[in-house]
Amino acid sequence: MQYNFDTVVDRSNNFAAKYDEVGRKFGRDDLIPLWVADMDFKTAEPVIEAIRQRAEQGIFGYTSRPESYFEVAGQWLKKRHGWDVDPGLMIHSPGVVPSLSMLIRYFTDPGDKIIIQPPVYYPFFDVVRSNDRVLVENPLKVADGQYVMDYEHLEELARQGASMLLLCSPHNPVGRVWHKEELVRLGNICLRYGIRVIADEIHSDLIYSRHKHTPFAGIAEDFRRNTITCLAPSKTFNLAGLQASIAIFPDKKSRARFDKVLGDLDIRRNNCFSLVAVEAAYRYGEEWLEQVNRYIAANFAYIQHYCRKYIPEIRPNYPEGTYLVWVDCRGLGLDKNQLHDFMINKARLALDDGYWFGDNANGYMRINAACPRSILAAALEQLRQAVEEHIR
């Protein structure tokens, strides 16, 4: 079927954090929210229908997960990414961030060093620090206008000792889809120094143009044995509120160890709606995904064209993956606090501040482009007016 992503869905009664928490987060309610990374699109119709049918059963007791749940996830990974995964090594978790936190807590020791690569999704900082581990930063660098990994610095850090590296692939917020060669070089360093890789691949289905996602654990057998992969249909199909993700382990022993953690917390089970929604998404959602990816890519082009024509001081990237645009605002000549104030009180936009993602991201903002184009148009017009007033 053909989906209409231009439709503006009223989320005022949706209990949406993206909308309802704007006032608390930004100090005023009259902002266009382009911050929280969920979509303003209805999910695929087969997913909605599966949830509708489940709701009509009228009983919402404890769930029992069928074998088909992980089997269909494996089929999706094989078809979309060429990655052949044993469903027996998969496990359900309420979310990728909870998985990261639990993996750090139970697969490393207090005081261990954990490497991250900022600017990066800001919960990466939190899950390390809140678990009493030592945060070690291997900042991305810019070469020929593109973010790349700093392997020399990474190897220097590795020689000093680290237990784990959190890999964001595709990378949030800079939108890189890492080439296989880039991942191989990183993986070899981690193997050489005994650093386990936790690969956050939640955006792996949101890929554009000629780019192709490479599952890190699917590159080679020694990489697979050294990697735990976290992914979810939540970004792909806009299902974050259903709280369902999948972690993929290298062996039965490590999976059993994580399963015990989930059991101790009594969070092994899906809720009754995520159980059917995830299966429906992976079985029948590909048509919707292909259409939404084309629409989001057109949104990227729209943002690029608008800024070049009307706001040359604002320089958005064109993401290779994710639906998040990384925007260079340094042309405004504002420090991070001034830029924060400018976006809220002048442009009247709720965006993610660059400095949330690391000290090397001052002067940047992150825009969520997974919304109807009319919302983007209104946001960019407000931004244009604010910039014109600023530079007068």
Going from the C-alpha of 316 to that of each of 45, 330, 350, 357, 391, the distances in angstroms are 32, 11, 16, 16, 19
Q: What is the pLDDT of residues 199-212, one digit of tens each?
A: 999 999 999 989 99
pLDDT at residue 392, as a whole number: 77
Q: What is the pLDDT of residues 176-196, one digit of tens each?
A: 999 999 999 999 999 999 999
Query: Could you give the domains of the chain?
Result: 17-44+287-391 (3.90.1150.10), 61-284 (3.40.640.10)
Q: pLDDT at residue 301 above 80?
A: yes
Q: What is the pLDDT of residues 323-351, one digit of tens each?
A: 999 999 999 999 999 999 999 999 999 99
User: How does residue 355 score in pLDDT terms, banded at 50, 70 and 90?
Assistant: very high
Residue type, 68: S
**Average pLDDT of the chain, as a whole number:** 97
Q: What is the mean pLDDT of residues 126-133?
A: 98
User: How does residue 306 score in pLDDT terms, banded at 50, 70 and 90?
Assistant: very high
Report strand pairing: 227-231 vs 245-248: antiparallel
Give every strand in the sheet of 352-353, ordered side by side. Answer: 315-316, 324-328, 364-368, 352-353
Find the Cα–Cα–Cα–Cα dihedral 22, 332, 170, 237, rounded to 10°. 30
Q: pLDDT at residue 143 above 80?
A: yes
283 class by beta-carbon count within 10 Å (0-12 exposed, 13-18 middle, 19+ buried): middle
Q: What is the mean pLDDT of residues 238-267?
A: 98
The whole-angstrom separation of Cα 358 and Cα 126 is: 12
pLDDT at residue 331, as a whole number: 97
Task: Calculate the CA 71 to chain-centre distance.
Answer: 23
Asked if 237 and 47 touch (Cβ cutoff 8 Å), the reply is yes
Q: What is the pLDDT of residues 59-78, one digit of tens each?
A: 999 999 999 999 999 999 99
Tokens of 184: 């191989």
Task: Calculate the CA 282 to chain-centre distance.
Answer: 18
Residues 6+ apart with CB under 8 A from 25: 35, 350
